[in-house]
A and B are shown apart, each in its own frame.
Chain A
């Protein structure tokens, strides 16, 4: 069954058993819902988890199963890795790519964070955590709670105490 990777190129599956193609050194990744993605080994190696598996020879002919990552999120992570591996020196382009990349709903962002944590892609983790941090920084307490759906589990007395404790920080 052929699958489409994130950048739209169709990949033929099933024909060749070995997934180590001499020309492009591809590797197959399977998401939790069974969808199949072909990526270059170089891009896949951005994930330290996969990199270690490749190094330790744990990658068999079939590819790597990632039961913790859904297909839509995996597609995004692969897109990120492909872009960063392709032209790592074009700082401006990469910056604008990153800015567009994280311009998603917070739910998706959090899913990417967990996936990047599981796959151990440091740059992606840093990027997404900083994005979340930036959206926390500029907001008041109420706005933060609203934005992320956080429940206020302080009792009114506790809340008053906390407010007093942190009063010094607000001018």
Chain B
């Protein structure tokens, strides 16, 4: 890593990608647009996308600088949790933001995450879709039902300390993220839940900011039907171990 050139960053934004050649370009543009005076770096963890995502990232590096956009690729799909870990190894930021590459997490909320953290000194700032200024778009009734049902169930059983448990648009203090990732063992959605629940149990200061979530426009979602079963299993696991 070109540590000498870039120096320490305030914020590292980790974006895991798989076949996001169009979304990755747009999201990088939007991040730079909405964080004009912020000392940040974007770390793209690509899992060997066959659609040429990494070529696009290299083009973006020509535009924005190799010290602002770090491409840290992996040979194949290895999962989200390990993608964060991999990104973390190369992150020099005091704070780490994790977000999805598919534009459902809009970079325009990044300033509000940063502001909230500065105001409250929080260890974790998590985006929530379920409050008044938040919201979703592009979800049919079934998806809203499963989301709401899942959330109510999780709130009742886990007392998690956050209104949106499965969201993955979050800002962490760097050492808090390291601590949490190393204590979480789940995968997928449950991983995001486990992170927040463990954060609450460990007494970390968690704040929330409203975000809007527009369901992905381009590309194919990696969400499948078996996720519901995994979710329920994860819920039981968390109930018993946290």
> Are both chains from one complex?
no
Residues of A within 8 A of B (CB): none
Which residues of B are interface residues toward A (Cβ below 8 A)? none
